[in-house]
Structure 1
Amino acid sequence: MNRALGFLEELGWRALALLLAAFMGGPLVLVVLFSFNQSALTSLPLTGFTLDWYRKLFSLGAFWPALWNSLIVAGLVAVLSVAIGTMAALLLARMAPRRAEGLIAIISVPMMLPALIIGVAMMSYFVRLIDLPLGLPTVILGHLVIAQPFVILIVFSRLATFDWAVVDSARDLGASPLRAFLTVTLPIIRPTIVGAALIALSISLDDFVITFFTIGAGNTLPTLVWGMVRTSLDPTINAIATLLILLSVGSTFLALRVSRYRG
């Protein structure tokens, strides 16, 4: 009897997990399917397979500048986040645990705030306080606010179990702090750094709210999708959304793979 109840309970939890996965992943699957649908109507059943919507997207004049802007912003955010975040994580790892925990709590605040609040605050700060024109530089700064905490926490979690004796041995043998970092610390934590960079890249590529408030003129891929949705329901939107899914989800999975994430 107990075994039967245990089996039914396990079956119920698996069914619930499957339903939740279908609920969350179903819309993404439909977006991808409709991007290949021959009909201009986003409805089931599908009428046939076509690549016309991708051809139309690639011939769209606004697509390539938006893609270029997204790649520039995401690439710079990834590089700057890793450079600053790794230095911050190294400093935190050398601090007393209680002091480091307090600083990490402060650093993590942007992760808990709604993106709308951050976007409005960044726009007001740039425009009214420091009189900085809105553009790609302000978008990069805005994305750093939300991506930086992830990088710091990821690298810091790796350094929490780091054996600092190997670095001390290199210093005792005459290596400078920079040389010890480049030849000892960096090779050991490189997979984690690469994974953190890819996660920052994914966060930047996927962001709409902060970009909307800080970009001024021009577009990135998410803001281009927003502009297209406001004017029509052209299946080209599904094509560009599919590309965004591939870029963001692909970079995240690659990050988990490179950083040797095990759950």
Structure 2
Amino acid sequence: MSLRRAAWRGVALLFVVFLLSPPVLVILFAFSDRPLANFPVTGLGLRWFRDMVRHPAFADALENSLVIGCTVGLVAAVVGTMAGIGFSRWPPRRARTWITVLCLPLMLPPLFLGVSLLVFYVFLGAPLGLGTVILSHLLFTLPFVIIVVYARMSSFDYRIVESARDLGASPMKAFLTVTLPVVQPVVIGAALIAVALSIDDFILTSFTIGGGNTLPILVWSQLRTNVSPMINAIGTMLLLTSIGSTLIALQLTRYRG
């Protein structure tokens, strides 16, 4: 029995090493001064981060990524909060049915979704750009906000809001003083996840941005034309941004009673 347990632990350890090795290597080689990604790693420094900042396409790619990510996070937070609160006041079966429908884009292959959106925008005659990317990203970020807000508010006692209204509070004041403090942490957390997902997306962005550039697209273009250790620096920046956003989101969305 102990031998079998040790074998399973060994398999689990190998699986964990397999999962963690790629990001660890990317971070390690991002700080290496050597132009080739191989061992031994010597001369740790910020050479490739400096090259990343000096790259002629980096500033535009970073600006586009931030504009898209922040806009998606803001819109997803506002619309997702409204939808989540609205669904929480519906009968549970009806609300879950509609939430399932809104989650359908998450169940589709990203490649199929990207092609479908491209065909749809071309059919409408809509110019491809940051606007079409933002609309596309909302398809897979809005459900996250809606789900966490609905989960938080489905057990909320709305009689508290009604009591505030009876005491003379306007609908807006009742929302700001009663509902918003309850839902605010999970909304901020879900919005941060939406920002991270939007900034990291490559497939939908590549289909719907037209001739623009984002950080993932810049990495892809560098891989196709000139494999430079600079892509390790960009990957490290994206990875740390995603990890930081996710950790903050997990802390904010944790139920506190």
Query: Structure 2-normalised TM-score?
Result: 0.95
Match of 2:30 among 22, 35, 52: 35
Equivalence for 2:50: 55
- Letter aligned with residue 75 of structure 1: C
2:16 aligned with 1:21 = yes
1:155 is paired with a residue whose SS is helix
1:181-216 Cα distance to aligned partner (Å, 9 max, x none): 111000111101100110101110110000000000
Equivalence for 1:77: 72
Match of 2:169 among 170, 175, 180: 175
2:106 aligned with 1:111 = yes
Report the Cα distance in structure 2 between the residues aligned to 1:116 and 1:186, rounded to whole angstroms: 37
Report the Cα distance in structure 2 between the residues aligned to 1:79 and 1:8, rounded to whole angstroms: 53
Report the Cα distance in structure 2 between the residues aligned to 1:172 and 1:207, rounded to whole angstroms: 47
2:205 aligned with 1:211 = yes
- Letter aligned with residue 175 of structure 2: F
Equivalence for 1:233: 227
Match of 1:123 among 118, 127, 131: 118
1:117-137 Cα distance to aligned partner (Å, 9 max, x none): 111111111112x11100000
Unaligned runs of 5+ in 2: none
Report the Cα distance in structure 1 between the residues aligned to 2:155 and 2:4, rounded to whole angstroms: 38
Deviation at 1:234, TM superposition (A): 0.7
> In 2 relative to 1, CA 261–242 (structure 1 residues): closer, same or farther, beyond 3 Å?
farther
Deviation at 1:18, TM superposition (A): 3.0
Number of aligned residues: 256
Equivalent residues of 1:120, 1:213 under 8 A apart? yes
2:185 aligned with 1:196 = no
Report the Cα distance in structure 1 between the residues aligned to 2:178 and 2:55, rounded to whole angstroms: 49
Query: Structure 1-normalised TM-score?
Result: 0.92
- Letter aligned with residue 41 of structure 1: L
Report the Cα distance in structure 2 between the residues aligned to 1:256 and 1:222, rounded to whole angstroms: 24
Equivalent residues of 1:86, 1:193 under 8 A apart? yes
Report the Cα distance in structure 2 between the residues aligned to 1:214 and 1:107, rounded to whole angstroms: 20
> In 2 relative to 1, CA 191–9 (structure 1 residues): closer, same or farther, beyond 3 Å?
farther
Equivalence for 1:96: 91
Equivalence for 1:224: 218
Indicate the RMSD between aligned Cα atoms, in angstroms: 1.6
Query: For structure 1, which segment, 10-19 or 227-236, has the greater mean C-alpha deviation from structure 2 after superposition?
Result: 10-19
Equivalent residues of 1:78, 1:198 under 8 A apart? yes
